[in-house]
Amino acid sequence: MSFELYSPISGTLRHLNTLADPVFAEEIMGPGFAVAPENDRYVKVCAPTDGTLTHLLPHACAITRANGQQILVHLGIDTVKLGGEGFSSIRNLGDEVSAGDPLIAWDTAPARNMGYPLEVIVVVLCPPASYLEHLPADCSPIEALMPGARVHRASEES
């Protein structure tokens, strides 16, 4: 079974290996993609998939799909150091969400002022025997809710 992950924001699609953080660039947490936001100061980050909001921090959240697969949405790099400044949760822990539902409102100014990278990162956490197919090429423009990647089980033919 395969499923698509949708872009949580509009911007420029980036493959993880282009990111400054080795945890993401080396896919230590799992495969995924990132989207560099347009020059908007205020960004509304949306769910890239359907599921239950099972982890919620000011700068990140995880959605658990019906099949148990967890998807991480991480706002920026090193933004944990902001102590929540600039982030406002729209949803609550335990909420059921659909792809496209707003999750977090982000005022990027505090992160931008600190020089932190602003990519919104989507990662398939510890994927069980699966692989990720990037849909748009690196550095392609992407709109919120456009497919960013497709996740396949390794045993599938595509």
Question: Which residues are annotated as catalytic?
Answer: 74
**What does the alpha-carbon distance between residue 39 and residue 99 come to, in Å, rounded to a whole number?**
23
Q: Where are the beta strands (DSSP E) in 10-129?
A: 11-15, 32-37, 42-46, 51-57, 60-64, 70-75, 87-89, 96-97, 102-107, 120-124
The one-character DSSP state at 82 is: G
Helix (H) or strand (E) holding 25: helix 22-25
**Smallest Cα–Cα separation from 53: which of 67, 73, 37?**
73
Asked if 110 and 57 touch (Cβ cutoff 8 Å), the reply is no
Q: Where are the beta strands (DSSP E) in 23-101?
A: 32-37, 42-46, 51-57, 60-64, 70-75, 87-89, 96-97
